[in-house]
Amino acid sequence: MTALPPITPLFTGLPARADKFLTGISTVALLRLDGRSLLFDTGPYAYRPILQMRLKKLGVDPGEIDTVILSHVHWDTAANADLFPNADIVLHEKELAYAEAPGSHDADTPGYIGRALRRLRLRPVTGEPEIAAGVRLVELPGHSPGSIGALVGSALLAGDAVTCAADAAAGDIRYQRGYDERARYSLSRALTLAEVIYPGHDRPFRVGPPITYLDDYVIRIRFFTDPAGPDEEIQVGSFAAKSFASWP
């Protein structure tokens, strides 16, 4: 079995269905190798203080992040790119072009995102360049015009090109909205490129067959006993990893 690359998920995507579309937490991952620190996606604005806290717990200052890879510019993946003052912000040139003039029907791409990104150290890319030793960008359009992933050895940080394990098991787009005809090809391509996939809205999984999660979920409930006092955390349960080869 191939060893896993040095990828640390800061947020692990969580799939949840509501009114026949997928919602839930978006994956954000830290990649450290050869003295470099790269971040794949940044999450929504609501993540901001938690993202800072989790980096701090890992001993990583935001100023140490030298590269931020944006899989695409939706509100739940790109909102915190400005937290990293010394980072090149890497995204596909087609995604940047779309960010500057998003469709009026697109509720997932903020109208201001192009202007906001232009204030940062942008590094638009074309094709599939290697941006660090052993880290190659791959084009996975469909969920958005310029969606990209990052191939790290045999693992793929896929963004929403692979939304969740259920789509992978079905070999079809079932839990993604707002995609075009290229999305199915990108999903198929992702599954042939990698042994392990870090999807946009789910836990990392091995492609298999069968498709199996790397780890179990652990659910915690946090509550406040006193508004002025410390909070308490209770672990209330966990879910066993499950193969989605027969996901309904």
Q: What is the maximal distance between C-alpha atoms in the chain?
A: 54
Total residues belonging to the chain: 248
**Which amino acid, 225?**
T
The predicted pLDDT at position 244 comes to 42
Give the model's pLDDT for residue 175: 82
Q: What CATH number has the domain spanning 7-216?
A: 3.60.15.10
104-152 tens-digit pLDDT: 888 899 999 999 999 999 999 999 999 999 999 999 999 999 999 999 9
Whether the Cβ atoms of residue 15 and residue 175 lie closer than 8 Å to each other:
yes
pLDDT tops 60 at residue 248: no
Backbone angles phi and psi of 13, in degrees to 5: -55, 145
- Per-residue pLDDT reduced to its tens digit, 203-221: 999 998 899 999 876 656 5
**67, 132 in Cβ contact below 8 A?**
yes
pLDDT, residue 227, reads: 55
Residue type, 197: I
The domain spans of the chain are 7-216
CB atoms within 10 A of CB 163: 27
